[in-house]
Structure 1
């Protein structure tokens, strides 16, 4: 299924279709402020395992992160953070960044493994944030982007739909995507450090 949503005013009837797919354990492909993402409700282990299998990774060893709707939602899944880290998050979110933080017990065990951390995104894209807000749970975030082969299908939602039709239950057309991934910042060390420079300049 391919549906069109507009960031300025996402149609509630179409959002309901997305929520129904997610609640049924389905997989969606959605726009962000960087590349298109592949995701599911993080509480549905079968859907998470399906995505991990598709990406040929083990969940607990993967770099899959998840999307929260805002800063307060993010704090539901992380251990208390310092004022320095809070200010960093507040200055840069919503935005094209993935912050690695210490996970709390609300994060499903299959995500954490031995690493006890979680990557969290709050994209500057109203479509996916509104879906997450109404769902009530974060959505898994892993990109359709392939670092080895930057080709057109990763930015054009209609081509993404063609390529992933057998895998994803629903693709959201939110306009053309980018082919530069998010910047990843590790906040589990004394001084936050950029471990992947992608889209966006961090406001320190």
Structure 2
């Protein structure tokens, strides 16, 4: 049965955040709110967590997982980008965008796209996600919580608890969150390609 944390949406209680982070550090799988719906997350060095996300969402081997980061210092350790791409990403983050970029050697190979050697990165904007990342001190391996045969992410913490009670280890509920997934921009080539239109304005990358 999943632990359930009811936290304030703008000023989450440090004790609850600390307990949730302890679960992540101990190899647990967490469902947490973002500005673009709920996400499933685990530590980067948790191969079982990645497999659990894959099973819950019924993902194929070509799915781009996302490394949700606290700031650009973390992003810069995980992906390669030149000054042009850096300026473009920095203008759009933090916010409802996921950027696909070539990964550095700091990213475990099992987290990369099997052919492209790329990974998704995102800088969190939701206060709860930001608090989690600050307490953890590392990025979170994440995927938007869109269940099989659904097109939109889950947005209600209690509903997540009821639906996935025996498939995740903890759920953080901070009330309703955004109901559109991120806009995904593939910046691994010479020019950006919008591969999914979501809550972030795609216009700057079209």
* TM-score, scaled to structure 2: 0.90
Aligned-partner Cα distance in 2 for 1:181–1:110: 24
Q: Is the 8 A contact 2:58 2:148 kept in 1?
A: no
Post-superposition offset of 1:31: 0.5
Aligned-partner Cα distance in 2 for 1:82–1:202: 21
Aligned-partner Cα distance in 1 for 2:147–2:179: 9
Q: Aligned pairs, how many?
A: 201
Q: Is the 8 A contact 2:57 2:145 kept in 1?
A: no
Q: Counterpart of 2:49?
A: 47
Aligned-partner Cα distance in 2 for 1:88–1:148: 33
What is the root-mean-square deviation of aligned Cα atoms in Å? 1.9
Within-5 A mapping of 1:139-150: 139-146=140-147, 148-149=149-150
Q: Counterpart of 1:57?
A: 59
Within-5 A mapping of 1:62-101: 62-79=63-80, 81-101=81-101
Q: Counterpart of 1:176?
A: 176
Relative to structure 1, the CA distance from residue 40 to residue 156 in structure 2 (aligned partners, 3 Å threshold; closer, same or farther) is same
Within-5 A mapping of 1:186-201: 186-201=186-201
SS in 2 for 1:2: strand
Aligned-partner Cα distance in 2 for 1:88–1:202: 12
> Quick check: 1:125 aligned with 2:126?
yes
Aligned-partner Cα distance in 1 for 2:127–2:187: 25
Post-superposition offset of 1:147: 7.5
> Quick check: 1:161 aligned with 2:169?
no
Q: Is the 8 A contact 1:35 1:143 kept in 2?
A: yes
Relative to structure 1, the CA distance from residue 74 to residue 23 in structure 2 (aligned partners, 3 Å threshold; closer, same or farther) is same
Post-superposition offset of 1:56: 2.5
Q: Is the 8 A contact 1:27 1:47 kept in 2?
A: yes
Q: Is the 8 A contact 2:27 2:43 kept in 1?
A: yes
Post-superposition offset of 1:203: 6.8
Structure 2 alignment gaps of length 5 or more: none
Structure 1 alignment gaps of length 5 or more: none
Q: Is the 8 A contact 1:88 1:203 kept in 2?
A: no
Aligned-partner Cα distance in 2 for 1:149–1:44: 26
Aligned-partner Cα distance in 1 for 2:34–2:154: 12
Q: Counterpart of 1:138?
A: 139
Post-superposition offset of 1:202: 4.3
> Quick check: 1:11 aligned with 2:46?
no
